Homo-oligomer: A and B are copies of this chain.
Amino acid sequence: MAGTDSTRSHAATVDRRTGPAIILVKPQLGENIGAVARAMLNCGLSDLRLVRPREDWPNEKARAAAAGADLVIDRARLFGTTPEAVADLRHLYATTARRRDMVKPVLTPKAAAGKLRAFLDNAEASGVLFGPERTGLDNDDITLADAVLEVPLNPAYASLNLAQAVLIVAYEFYQAQDVAPDVSQGRNGVIAATKDELLGFFEHLEDELDAGGFLIPPEKRPYMVRNIRNIFQRAGLTEQEVRTLRGMITSLASRRGRKGG
C-alpha cells in the first residue's frame, strides 16, 4: 500500500485470489479484449485467459482499448483449447444469450456472484466462460460448465456486447463483497445542524413570515408552519446551511428596514 510506484496498489487489489478467471473463447476483436480487461479491473479481477483469439497476441488494439488496465493485458494467458484453459478451475459457469437444449442449472449473474464469492472464501478456483462475439459458446464448451449464466434483459433485445457481458458478471461479483461500500451522504467535513439550531431557524423564518402577513388565516397557520418545516426538515441541513438560510431571511426581510429607515 505504501508503494512508491503507482502499480503497486493495483497489484494489491487484483491478486489472483480475488475472484474468478474470465475465459474468452475465440474472441474476434482486439478492441473487445481490451474493453474486457478494463471491465475486469474495474471490478478487481485480473485473471484473463484467451482461447485461440482470432487476432495475434499480444495485440496493440487490445492494449489501447484497455485504457490503463495494462496489468490485466500483461498477465493474460493464451490457450489452445477451452479444456486446457479451465483445467485448474474447480467451478465453471458459461454465459449464453439464449437458452440451449441442455439440462443445466441456470443462474442470474447476481445469484452466481454469491456462489463465486463462496468459492473464493473456500480457496476454490473458479471461472466464467464467454463465447465469440457473433456466435456465442458452442455446446461442447457449455458442457464443460457447472451451470449457465443468463443476464435478465429486455427479451426483445437481449444481445450484449462481449465487454458488457463481462462487466455485468464482474460487477455483480464485486457487489457481492462484504466490503459494504460507503453509500452514506457526501458530507465530508460537514456537520448536521442540531435540532435546536433548526428550531431557531424555523422561529426566525416564521416571525418574518408573520410580520409579512404570509401565515394567514390564523386557523391555517399551524398547518402551513408544519408544511414549511417539513420542507427544510427533509433537506437534512448542516450547521453552515442553517446559517446561510438565516442570512438569506435577514437579507430578504431587512430591505424594508433599510428602505424605511
Contact = CB atoms under 8 A, between A and B. Distances in A.
B108 A183 contact: yes
B156 A10 contact: yes
Q: What range describes how many residues of A lie at the interface?
A: 35 or more
A246 B111 CA distance: 33
Contacts of A67: 159, 161
A139 to B, nearest CB: 13
A208 to B, nearest CB: 6
Contacts of A190: 103
B106 A186 contact: yes
A157 B68 contact: yes
A93 interface: no
A247 B68 contact: no
A78 interface: no
Contacts of A227: 241, 244
Interface string A198-238: 00000001001101111000000000100110011011111
Nearest to A208: B252
A104 B252 contact: no
B42 A184 contact: no
Contact of A252 (B44, B241, B253): B253
Given A154-B13, A156-B9, A171-B168, A252 B212 contact: yes
A99 B187 CA distance: 10
A100 to B, nearest CB: 7
B69 A157 contact: yes
B152 A174 contact: yes
A64 interface: no
A78 B19 CA distance: 42
A35 interface: yes
Interface of A: 9-10, 12-14, 35, 38-39, 41-44, 67-69, 99-108, 110-111, 148, 150-161, 163-164, 167-168, 171, 174-175, 181, 183-188, 190, 205, 208-209, 211-214, 224, 227-228, 231-232, 234-238, 241, 244-245, 247-249, 251-256, 258-260
6 contacts: A9-B156, A67-B159, A100-B186, A104-B186, A106-B185, A224-B244
